Every structure is written in structure tokens, then in C-alpha cells.
Structure 1
Amino acid sequence: MTSQTTTGTPDATDSVEEVLDVQAPEAEGPTVASAEENEKSHRSTPRSAAFRAFIAQGWGPAPAEDLTAGSAAPFAARRREVLSSLFPGEVLVVPAGSLVRRSNDTDYRFRPHSAFAHLTGLGTDREADAVLVLHPREQGHEAVLYVRPQGSRESEEFFADARYGELWVGPRPSLTALAAQTGITCHDVAALADELGAGLEQAKGSRLLADADPAVTTLVAPLRGDVPEHADDEFVTALSELRLVKDAYEIGQLREAVAASARGFEQVVRSLPQAVGHPRGERVVEAAFDGNARVDGNGVGYETISAAGDHACTLHWIRNDGPISAGQLLLVDAGVEVDSLYTADVTRTLPVDGTFSDAQRRVYQAVLDAADAAFAVARPGVKFREVHEAAMKVVADRLSAWGMLPVDAATSLEPEGQYHRRWMPHGTSHHLGLDVHDCAQARREMYLEAELREGMVFTIEPGIYIKSEDELAPAELRGIGVRIEDDVLVTADGVENLTAALPRDPDAVEAWMASLR
């Protein structure tokens, strides 16, 4: 594994450029640090020749590696075939990305670029600095995965490199094991430049996922020659659109993410007695969900929103540092990311006391009716934007009835109107998958203007947000923010609410909360 959060020494963290062999590789066998290096370092890492010889000795065989194919491998192979067909004769380069520095000498836990995960089937924290290359052949492409190989126990990396060394972060998989697990030929990443250079000489062109790893972009740039202006942008778009329709493996992973998220929401309800009255009650709730996500999955798919009272009217409230008081509503927008990196995205708005007030129920029911209207139109053949339009009709109607619009609902719904969007400024739906806002680089005609197709997964999440200082709203509705968000799978003849196990009806919400408390 190469992705633990670590504390490293300045002389013990190889740069990504070194991993890619931009600089000269380390010499074989023990070497002794120079007197100048020892004098500058304030660390206590032993560097004598005697120590280096000693630490390399006395190790038994490493634990046996898993040589079985991962369950995602055949699906990832099919995705690569589709990508290959889009760019015949061209070299395609998809980096996983590198470790990202959090501060000083500590890194964030690694997460590979979603396109890399999609095409390799690798999840969790695998594999920093890796690069997937599809080399063109007479028929299709040959996939090669370039990875940093296991470090030798005779090398300084083994004991002194806090970013990559086995004693610090554990062993990396061997090339053999990784090839068996992914079904992809694996080469040492140090060979990337030479093999890319040779391949590019024979290729019609190349495409690069340029934003994934700056070091790879720097390495590849001089090898590519002249590249058409929009070639890489078209590649990014294709990688995004490749994920618009989910395969059976992806749908299964999303079901697991939803189930884990439902368990997390149960923990949220159970945490409310502790959260009420706590000076940071919102963080008590956040910790309940996030802790469950880390135990039940890989972690959260995005920063949890735990928003009580007026904070619920801030759409992306992730500070979560406020108190939770009796009588408030609590909006929780949270999703578990499972080990494959597929994430759920769920919002429930809960009465802190377990019972909605009349004013809270009025806003909540309006949002629920808007969500149900979106569900009613969602089916294959309907355009993606029509789901949003159905929800907005209900929102505009209710806001008009409450005297909050300067015009009637129909006029507000016109393109030159849109007054109701003051209280519902976001879209009703977005695609969901490896990214919480999946397929975001897809073309408009393939997203908003596209027809729903079997296998698409997206959210339905209308809301109404009435800030406490909003003088256009009835006094009793001010400070109320409600969103209801479900994850939806398009089937052959309709849609399936993947998150249906979490109650949505206000009476059902109250009963569910009572059963958990």
C-alpha cells in the first residue's frame, strides 16, 4: 500500500518525478549518507553502512499475495474496449494521480482519479503514481499498467522513506499480483518514458488525462509532438461520458453504498440525544455518520452536510460547527463511499424532537411533493432536464400559494422569470457513481438534453430554503430549510428508488425516528 497519511523526513520522500525516473534511479545496494546530509538533517534515522547491512538481514518470506482476479476486472476490460473503439490508433494515457500533500510532510489519504479507477477496477487507495496506457495495436489497444514496484529491503526506501517505504506504509503489491488482480499487463513505472516514446513514434496521435498528475503531464509533453488543440479535452469528455450508463458491477456497488448510507442515517438519529445542547451538535451528528462510513466502507463520498436550523439554508454547509436545539429541523446530506469508490448521495431532513411542527411539515410536504412529481415523470426516453422541470412546477406552485412570488407560478416558470429559484437555486438531479457529481465533463447534449436510458443512476433532490432574515417569506416559515434526496436507477420501464429504505413521508419519518430512539 502506498497511501497512508505519514510523517516523513525531507531526505525520505521521493518525488513523483523520481518515481517516474525523470531523475537517475537509486544505485543498487547500501550507500552511506554524506557528511553534509547528516549535518543538515535533524532526524534520527540511522544511516551508517553497518545499520543498512543489518536492517536488510533476517527477514523471512513476505506474506503470500492475492493472485485472484478482482470482481471488477471483466467489467473494466469491457470499458477499456469501448474507449479503445473511440480512439483507434492513438496512445491513451490515464494517470492515477500522486499523493497530495496536506501540510508540511503529511499527505492526504490517496484516492485515484475516477477515470483510472473506472478503467482498471482498482479502488480504495490504489495505486499512487500509477499510469494506465492503452497502446494502439493493429486491432484495438493493449493495456499496460505502469506502477511503482515493490521496494527492495536492501534499499534505503525500505526503512527511511516515510512516503513509500515498507516499514512506514506497508508493502506495495508485486507486478505479478497486480496483473493477476486487474487482468492488465503491469510494467515498472520507471519504463514509462521509454515505452511511451517508442509507442508514440508509431501512433496516429495521443490523448492524455492531463489534470490527473502534473508529473506525468510534464513527462509526456515533450514526447507527444504537436497535439491538436482540443484533443485532450475531447478525451476527458469521452472518459466522463463512458460512465453515463452503469454496468451490472457498478449498480451492485451503488446498492452497497446506499445500504451502508442507510445504516449511517440510523446512527445519525441515535446520536441526536447527545447532539442536542452540545455546543457543536452538528459535529456530533457528522461524526456519527462519518465514523460509520469509515467502518462500513472506504469513508464518505464527499464532506458531510450536517445543518441545523438556518444553517440548512446554506446549500453546502460543511463547517458543521453549530449547536442543535430542540424544535429545529436538521438537514443531513451524506453518502458512504464503498471500497470500489462508488458513492451514495442521500439527504434527509429530520425534526430534532422527532415530530414536525405545522410550519415545518408544510415546507417538508411541498418538497416531498416536488420529489414525487420528479419520480412520476422519470423513465426511459424522458429527457434529463424534464425531471427538474417537473419538480420546479410544484415548487413554484407552493411558493406562489404562500405569497412569496411577485408573479403567478406559471409566469415564474418562464425562462425570463425563474423567481422561484431564489428558494431552490440548484438543480434537481445529477448523475451518481464514482464521483458524487458523476460524468460532470459530459457534453450538454449527453447530460441535460439526453434521454434517460436503462442503467443510468442519478439523484432526485428538490429543496426549499427560506433564510431566517428573508422578509419575503411568511414569518412562521423563516429559518426552515428542507431537502429530500434519493438515488434513482433507471430500469427498462421506469425507475427504482435505491434509497427507498430510508423513510420520506413525514409520518413515516416520525415513526422511524421513534423506533430508533
Structure 2
Amino acid sequence: MSSHDLPRPDYAARRRRLMERLPDGVAIVPTATEKSRNADVHYPFRPDSDFWYLTGFAEPEALLVLVPGHPDGEEWLFCRPRDPEREIWDGRRAGLEGARELCGIQQTRSIVELDSLLPELLQNRELLCAPLGRSADFDARLMLWRNQARSRSRAGIRYPQELVDLGFLLHEMRVIKDPVELEHLRAAVGISAAGHRHGMRVCRPGMTEYQLQAEIEFVFQRLGARSVAYPSIVGGGPNACILHYTENRDALADGDLVLVDAGAEYGNYAGDITRSYPVNGVFSPAQREVYALVLASQKAAIAALAPGRSVADYHEAAVAVLVDGLRDLKILSESREAILEQGLYRSFYMHRTGHWLGLDVHDAGSYRQRDGNWRMLEPGMVVTVEPGLYFSPENPACPERYRGIGIRIEDDCVITAEGVEVLSAAAPKEIDEIEALMALGG
């Protein structure tokens, strides 16, 4: 399977939509910068998500400029020219002609021309839209270009008076996925689910967390995902109570649970699935009690996903079930109202129930409306649903019976006109399904 097998997004239509929102402005969208890992070794390059959303161009040292109505062209892409000598060392480049053909942008220029041409493209524009506050170096360069455009104001040439963060306009486009994006997400989540199923089958006492991680990520790559969407979390026993545990170095012990939060990135779209299961393949009675509670809360949260429902509703639905369960298990003794009002459950459940998902694992888009109220869900939005309970041995409020148990169950869901589609349903989460799959072995 290859991301080339999936339909190509209409990047040109996205650029047109953005330009419609800034008729007398200019948008500057840089890709990510290459990052040094150590000495002369770099981290694998991954393009900036906003830049990719508008261009589908994967190379570093590139920048998109959108100038609605400009007589020489509304769309400008600055990128690296062909360089046969460097390509021997670093790999092929699209070059200006290749970028023009790939992106459908007629004005493709060498990145070395950027500083000389950019101030001219800012002239006679009222608004400058760019990613602000993310990179001090880029912010300084942006102000230099603007100041150079301003230097010609005595000649009657206007320059941008208003600066707007790119996310204010673009991220509201990204929060609603189009049908092609949903196909990419289904592929990323499907690969992620396959990795989780394989992990359940090969998990056994004595293997290390990093060995289980390697088994899962091997499946991701074998199925075409060249990268993980984020560092995988594989926490056995009490390590599962560390929300962003990534050391993944301990041995998995018989009788413990393991929490696996891992997702594949495919075509730059992220999968994000968490499953928790017994290392030896059989839930203990205490583990079953906690797992059943978390699963019930997750199902209640998924049931609260629908167009017109608040983005906060599904978190509140999960919390309500968890609070009742914590009282039933005698972990909390206060009244339901007191627990909710005082947030007493946060000793065991300290995060929200989900987030947007897309090109970024914590994807772009506001959760609140301008009036401060939670926004309403709409078809095409994609969210994670991931309640959990964490009974850390270091938390004196945890009953002995449950200490060291950390459970999170996470699915990826798309809001549809009818309600919700669970993209990650292929990853088992019912107790009987998990135990049956683990009994098959690797």
C-alpha cells in the first residue's frame, strides 16, 4: 500500500478558499525548517502541516506566497532549484519546473530570490497573514520584509498595516475534513489498528516495552507508514500512569497491564489509538473492574458525538460515567455533585477526553467560539475519544487493590451527518475480544 494510491487533495482549491478570505491581503506560508539531531545528522524532515495542506510539496527550504489579484500571478512558490551535485549526496529535488507541475503553481522561483522579491509582493497590500510567534527567526525575517516594503511609502506605495496569524484563517478550514482527507485518515487509522492487533498477539511476559513498540511500529512501516504520528507510548504496570511515558525501556511483567498509545502517520495524516491489555493475556478481577468502567465511559462519550452537540458534551458524558463508577468501586465516597464541583475525580482522571485529529495528532482548530462558548460539532470534524483512569502507586488516595493500574482507551471518530463513524473499530477493545486475540499468540 502506498499513499500514492489514495486520491490527491485539491490543493489549488484550498489556496483559492484561503485567498477569498484575504482579498486585499497577502499570505506567507513557510514549510518547516530542517532540525539538527547531533553534529551533521538531521532529524527526518517532515513539512509544516499548514504548508503541506496548501501545496502537497514535501521538500525543505520552501515558502508559499498568496497574493490575490496580483498581475504577475496570485500564487508564488519559492523552493530549491535543481542541483545535480547536491542531489548525488542528499537525494532528488523537484526543482522549479517539477514544483510547478506538482503543485500547479505557475510562479515558481528559487528560494535564493526570496529576500529580493518578497518585499515587492507586500506592496499595496492592507493585510499580512503569516504564522506569527512560532519562530523568532521567521518573525524577524517577516518584519524585515515588511519594513523594506514600508521604506517605499514616501513614493505612495502602501504596505501591510495589519498582521493576522495564519491560523486564524487557515485552521478553521483544516478543522473540517473533506472526503479526500477522510480517505487519508481512514488509511492512517487502519494501519494503526493493524499495528495494535499485532501488538496484542505478540505481547507476553518478559518482553520489554521497546520490543513491543518495535513489533507495532514494524507493522506500521510494512503497511506503508514511513513514520509514527508521535512518539509511541508503551507503558507496563505503573508506567501506564505516566500520561506521556516514552522511555519504553522496562520489562513487561506477568500480571500487569500494558498501555499502548501509538499511531501511524500515512500521507502526513495521523492515526492515534490507545489500547490497554493484560501482559499475560487475561485480565485480573481488579483490572476487569477498572477496564469495564473506562470502556463504559468511552462508549458514553462516543454516543454524545453528533452534529449540533457541543465539543464539550462528550467529555462531560465520559466524566459522568467515571464519577459514578469511582463511587461504585468505593474509591470516592463524596456525593456525585461534590465530586464534580470540586473536581475530586481529577486525582485519577486528569486530562480531557479528546482532541482534533488530522495532519497533526493534536490538530488545528479552535475548541471555543468567539463568544467563549464551546463550539458545536459539524460533519467532517475528526476527534479522538480517550477517557482513562490512572491509579499511580505514588498516589496515596489509590486503594491498594487498584494501585499500579493505568488504563486508557482511545478511538478516532469522524462526525457524520447521521452521527459518528468510529475509524479505529478494527482495534479490539472489548475484554473478551482482547483475550481471544491474545490467546492466538504471534
The TM-score normalised by the length of structure 2 is 0.90
The offset of 1:399, in angstroms, is: 1.0
Aligned to 2:51: 116
Output one character per residue of 1:469-489: Cα deviation in whole Å (capped at 9) or x when no partner.
333232111110000000001
- For residue 187 of structure 1, the aligned residue among 78, 102, 109 is 109
Aligned to 1:426: 351
- For residue 72 of structure 1, the aligned residue among 2, 8, 24 is 8
Aligned to 1:410: 337
Note if 1:438 corresponds to 2:363: yes
Contact 1:193 1:220 in 2 (8 A): no
SS of aligned partner of 2:418: coil
Cα distance in 1, alignment partners of residues 214 and 298 from structure 2: 28
Note the 1:93-492 alignment, pairs <5 A: 93-122=28-57, 126-137=58-69, 142-151=74-83, 153=84, 158=85, 165-185=86-106, 186-210=108-132, 216-225=138-147, 231-233=163-165, 235-273=166-204, 276-278=205-207, 281-295=208-222, 296-338=224-266, 340-405=267-332, 407-414=334-341, 417-439=342-364, 442=366, 444-445=368-369, 449-492=374-417
Query: What is the one-letter code of the residue matched to 1:183?
Result: G
Output one character per residue of 1:413-452: Cα deviation in whole Å (capped at 9) or x when no partner.
22xx111011110000100000000015x36227971111
The offset of 1:293, in angstroms, is: 2.5
SS of aligned partner of 2:123: helix
The offset of 1:229, in angstroms, is: 9.4
The offset of 1:231, in angstroms, is: 2.6
Contact 2:311 2:367 in 1 (8 A): no
The offset of 1:211, in angstroms, is: 5.3
The offset of 1:463, in angstroms, is: 0.2
Contact 2:200 2:434 in 1 (8 A): no
Structure 1 residue runs without a partner (length 5+): 1-67, 159-164
Query: What is the one-letter code of the residue matched to 1:474?
Result: P
SS of aligned partner of 1:187: strand
1:147 to 1:228, Cα distance in 2 relative to 1, 3 A: closer
Contact 1:331 1:481 in 2 (8 A): yes
Query: What is the one-letter code of the residue matched to 1:348?
Result: R
Output one character per residue of 1:203-249: Cα deviation in whole Å (capped at 9) or x when no partner.
2231222456665544332221379898343x223222221110111
SS of aligned partner of 2:251: coil
Query: What is the one-letter code of the residue matched to 1:105?
Result: D
Cα distance in 2, alignment partners of residues 256 and 391 from structure 1: 27
Aligned length in residues: 426
The offset of 1:453, in angstroms, is: 0.3
Cα distance in 1, alignment partners of residues 440 and 346 from structure 2: 36
Query: What is the one-letter code of the residue matched to 2:192?
Result: S
Aligned to 1:59: none
The offset of 1:70, in angstroms, is: 9.3
Output one character per residue of 1:471-516: Cα deviation in whole Å (capped at 9) or x when no partner.
3232111110000000001010100111111111111111122234
1:443 to 1:429, Cα distance in 2 relative to 1, 3 A: closer
SS of aligned partner of 1:242: helix
SS of aligned partner of 1:318: coil
1:269 to 1:396, Cα distance in 2 relative to 1, 3 A: same
Contact 1:95 1:130 in 2 (8 A): yes
Identity of aligned residues (%): 36
Structure 1 or 2, whichever has the larger Rg, is: 1
Aligned to 1:5: none
SS of aligned partner of 1:266: helix
Cα distance in 2, alignment partners of residues 454 and 479 from structure 1: 39
Cα distance in 1, alignment partners of residues 296 and 77 from structure 2: 49
The TM-score normalised by the length of structure 1 is 0.78
SS of aligned partner of 2:245: coil
SS of aligned partner of 2:240: helix
The offset of 1:81, in angstroms, is: 1.9
Contact 2:127 2:163 in 1 (8 A): no
Q: Which moved further from structure 2: 393-402 or 251-260?
A: 393-402
Structure 2 residue runs without a partner (length 5+): 151-158
Cα distance in 2, alignment partners of residues 265 and 201 from structure 1: 53
Cα distance in 2, alignment partners of residues 190 and 408 from structure 1: 66
Contact 1:487 1:499 in 2 (8 A): yes
Query: What is the one-letter code of the residue matched to 1:173?
Result: A
Cα distance in 1, alignment partners of residues 17 and 367 from structure 2: 18
Contact 1:96 1:213 in 2 (8 A): no
Alignment RMSD: 2.4
Cα distance in 2, alignment partners of residues 192 and 310 from structure 1: 52
Output one character per residue of 1:153-181: Cα deviation in whole Å (capped at 9) or x when no partner.
4xxxx1xxxxxx21211121132222222
1:507 to 1:270, Cα distance in 2 relative to 1, 3 A: closer
1:91 to 1:70, Cα distance in 2 relative to 1, 3 A: farther
The offset of 1:263, in angstroms, is: 1.6
Cα distance in 2, alignment partners of residues 100 and 212 from structure 1: 15
Query: What is the one-letter code of the residue matched to 1:187?
Result: R
Contact 1:70 1:121 in 2 (8 A): no
SS of aligned partner of 2:180: helix
Query: What is the one-letter code of the residue matched to 1:508?
Result: E
Contact 1:136 1:203 in 2 (8 A): no
Aligned to 2:156: none
Aligned to 1:92: 27
Cα distance in 2, alignment partners of residues 321 and 421 from structure 1: 28
Query: What is the one-letter code of the residue matched to 1:205?
Result: L
Cα distance in 1, alignment partners of residues 162 and 283 from structure 2: 53
Query: What is the one-letter code of the residue matched to 1:511?
Result: A
